[in-house]
Amino acid sequence: MEFLDVVAARHSVREFIDRPVGHDVLQRLFEAASMAPSALNEQPWRFYVAEGETRARIGEIMAQSTVYLADYIDVLGPERYEEASHWYTDLGGAPLIIGITIPRTEDEPTLIGRTISVGAAVENLLLAATNEGLGACMVTFSFWVRDELAEAFGLEDDRVVVGLIVLGYPGEPPEAPAHSHDVAVFRE
């Protein structure tokens, strides 16, 4: 695929079919992620792949999110709440869940640099997944269970979970969302 075609085709997938993703494919995704720019070339990202029993445990932890979602019903609205509740119950049946981590820090400028850097790595990974015919959805709404997620992924105390990527072969293709292209301000 041409680069702009891959960018245009990438969207969040929330339904997956029961088909395994080969480790050779995953290695290509992580290679793409590793080429992202990072603050001071720190490359702070580390990805933890959950499959099998670990994937099931991560799914159980994320299902708890539906309890916390009740606090956000005013923000989401009743329609989006039901959608979110269903999504967090089984994460679309994705066969893989990837934990996105960075080194723990209390220094705000370092945290910002690491967060932006990991965002670049995640986008590379998501674009590579699209190019491989995979579907993915980044989940950033898991902070209330991140300690449990860290334990399930087997993280050391010096790393923190900043998000998840659910990954697999897409089921029903969702309608691509509209994107605003009015995002730049030019000054002379």
CATH code, domain carrying 92 = 3.40.109.10
Confidence class of residue 69 from pLDDT cuts 50, 70 and 90? low
Whole-angstrom CA distances from 142 to 10, 31, 34, 151, 154 are 22, 25, 24, 14, 17
Tell me how many domains the chain contains: 1
Higher local confidence (pLDDT), 143 or 166:
166
In a domain, 110, yes or no: yes
User: In this structure, is residue 150 part of a structural domain?
Assistant: yes
d(CA 174, CA 11): 9
Among residues 69, 70, 65, which one has the least CA distance to residue 90? 65
The pLDDT of 166-178, averaged and rounded, is: 84
Residue 62 lies in a domain: yes
In a domain, 134, yes or no: yes
Provide mean pLDDT across the span 75-90: 74
Give me the pLDDT at residue 105, please. Answer: 97
pLDDT surpassing 90 at residue 68: no
Confidence of residue 147 (pLDDT cuts 50, 70, 90): very high
**Per-residue pLDDT band at 77 (split at 50, 70, 90):** confident
183, part of any domain = no
- Summarize the confidence of residues 122-139 as an average pLDDT: 97
* Mean pLDDT rounded to a whole number for the chain: 90
The predicted-structure confidence for 7-36, as pLDDT tens digits, reads as follows 999 999 999 999 999 999 999 999 999 999
Alpha carbons 166 and 185: distance in angstroms, whole number: 34
Residue 2 inside a domain? The answer is: no
Mean pLDDT of 107-128: 97
**Is 102 strand, coil or helix?**
strand
Give a yes or no: residue 187 inside a domain.
Answer: no
Residue 63 inside a domain? The answer is: yes
DSSP H stretches of helix in 70-155: 73-90, 108-131, 146-153
Q: CB count, 10 Å around CB of 74?
A: 9
Whether the predicted model's global pTM rises above the 0.85 cut? yes
* Residue 153 · residue 98 · CB < 8 Å: no
Please report which confidence band the pLDDT of residue 72 belongs to, taking 50, 70 and 90 as the band edges.
low
Q: What is the model's pLDDT at position 84?
A: 73
Amino acid letter at 1?
M
pLDDT > 90 fraction of the chain, expressed in percent and rounded: 73
Contact in structure between 166 and 92 (CB atoms under 8 Å): yes
pLDDT of residue 108: 97
Range of the domain at 21: 10-168
What is the rounded distance in angstroms from the CA atom of residue 154 to the CA atom of residue 159?
Answer: 10
- Which residues sit opposite 46 in a β-bridge? 101
Query: Above 80 in pLDDT, residue 54?
Result: yes
